[in-house]
Amino acid sequence: MPVMTSILRRICVYCGSNPGNDPAHKAAAHELGAFLAKQGLGVVYGGGNVGLMGAVADGALSAGGEVIGVIPQSLLEKELGHRGVTELHVVRSMHERKQMMVDLSDGFIALPGGFGTLDELFETLTWLQLAFHNKPVGLLNLGGFFDGLVDFIHHMSHAGFLKPEHARCVLVESDPATLLGRMRAFQPPDLGKWIEKLAAEAR
């Protein structure tokens, strides 16, 4: 039986509004944006013009790509909303921002970032776990940035708080082309109504 592949048209990139201390991260963010554009993929991101967010957008735009930003009104000035993107959606809240980014995207890649990046990443993974969507989620593990996080995800699984099948949904690669290939081949786990079974076992 042939393996189905995910149809990817737009990739959402979660990343920091800060550039970080290592210049390689900003350079890699720019390269990722350009790479996705050259693959014919649109980029959805947090709408900022600073940090890794701005680098991703500028990279995609430099390669002629479509770039859609989504930013809350309260952060428009703080994160310096990018006025050069294809579309800039200004929303009312972080919740609306995250929902729109998920709705506009066919897959997700996390780059280095802080609390906000992890918030977006784990909400998207939780929605995948609960079958609210079936889209691939990847970590572009630049210079081992996510090594500790990957170890902790394995720890959660070994401790019985995360099914191994869900832990394996986190696609981790250091090379954009390899990660994109795995995202295209991604198949969400079919565990039936696992959460209902879990509730029944707890009774």
Q: Where are the domains of the chain?
A: 10-202
Residue 196: per-residue pLDDT: 60
Q: How high is the pLDDT of residue 77?
A: 75
Q: Output phi, psi for 51, to 5 deg.
A: 60, -155
Whole-prediction pTM: 0.92
- Give me the tens of pLDDT residue by residue for the chain, a chain 203 residues long: 344 567 899 999 999 999 999 999 999 999 999 999 999 999 999 999 999 999 999 999 999 999 999 999 988 877 689 999 999 999 999 999 999 999 999 999 999 999 999 999 999 999 999 999 999 999 999 999 999 999 999 999 999 999 999 999 999 999 999 999 999 999 998 876 555 665 555 55
Burial of 159 (0-12, 13-18, 19+ CB in 10 A): exposed
pLDDT at residue 2 in the model: 41
CATH number, domain 10-202: 3.40.50.450
What's the pLDDT score for residue 190?
82
Report the phi/psi class of residue 72: left, alpha or beta, with left for phi > 0 and alpha for psi in -120 to 50: beta
- Listing DSSP states for 70-95 in one string gives EEEGGGTTTTTB-TTSSEEEEESSHH
What are the beta bridge partners of residue 110?
Answer: 14, 139
